[in-house]
A and B are shown apart, each in its own frame.
Chain A
Amino acid sequence: GENVEQHPSTLSVQEGDSAVIKCTYSDSASNYFPWYKQELGKRPQLIIDIRSNVGEKKDQRIAVTLNKTAKHFSLHITETQPEDSAVYFCAASEGAQKLVFGQGTRLTINP
């Protein structure tokens, strides 16, 4: 089955700097790659996703890139703000509407 590895597990950046979180997946058949943000004690919420027929997608300060050949995808957050502090999860579809999640990255934005 699918296996998703996420790095780093923790990331601390200065406010205004960029943050990058990387994920690798194992199943070349996976075709959907979402990123979720989870604030402390809250539910995960989708912030951006990408499908395998697209290499990059942007939404304001957030972007996701996908390299199908290398089987990895990354989340890029520019001009970070204190409210970006949260745990971020990547995931890959395993078909049949199943998602396999990475272990999560705790992002801290330092003022």
Chain B
Amino acid sequence: DGGITQSPKYLFRKEGQNVTLSCEQNLNHDAMYWYRQDPGQGLRLIYYSQIVNDFQKGDIAEGYSVSREKKESFPLTVTSAQKNPTAFYLCASTEQNYNEQFFGPGTRLTVL
């Protein structure tokens, strides 16, 4: 199960606070992704990055921000502007010109 890691596993946040979720991979993959998973709704794409220092919005980017300063790392910040942030967050990565996405173990965020 190694290769792509996320931390922390569980995260609790008070309303109005920003939090940052970590995603690291040692697979030398070029592309990285952040998904949000809610019960009964599948995986929805928040942001993705195909190369260092470049990223694009997914379907539900409002209230989130990302950076891609290193190939190995793609942190996600959940800002106070995100109205309903309680969810399971999954990070994934894939090789260039290849489709299979490998997922991290996920971070469960709960807003108190």
Chain A residues with CB under 8 Å of chain B are: 6, 9, 32, 34, 42-46, 49, 89, 93, 96-104
Contacts and interface: CB of A to CB of B under 8 A. Distances in A.
B50 A97 contact: yes
Interface in B31-45: 31, 35, 40-45
A49 B102 CA distance: 13
B21 interface: no
B99 interface: yes
A97 B48 CA distance: 10
Using C-beta atoms within 8 Å of the partner chain, give the interface range for chain B. Answer: 20 to 34
A101 B103 CA distance: 14
Contacts, number: 51
A101 B100 contact: no
Given A34-B100, A49-B99, A93-B99, A43 B105 contact: yes
A43 B100 contact: no
B106 interface: yes
A93 B97 CA distance: 12
Contact of A34 (B42, B44, B45, B99): B99
Given A43-B1, A43-B90, 5 more contacts: A9-B40, A42-B105, A46-B102, A97-B50, A98-B45
A45 B103 contact: yes
B101 to A, nearest CB: 6
A66 to B, nearest CB: 14
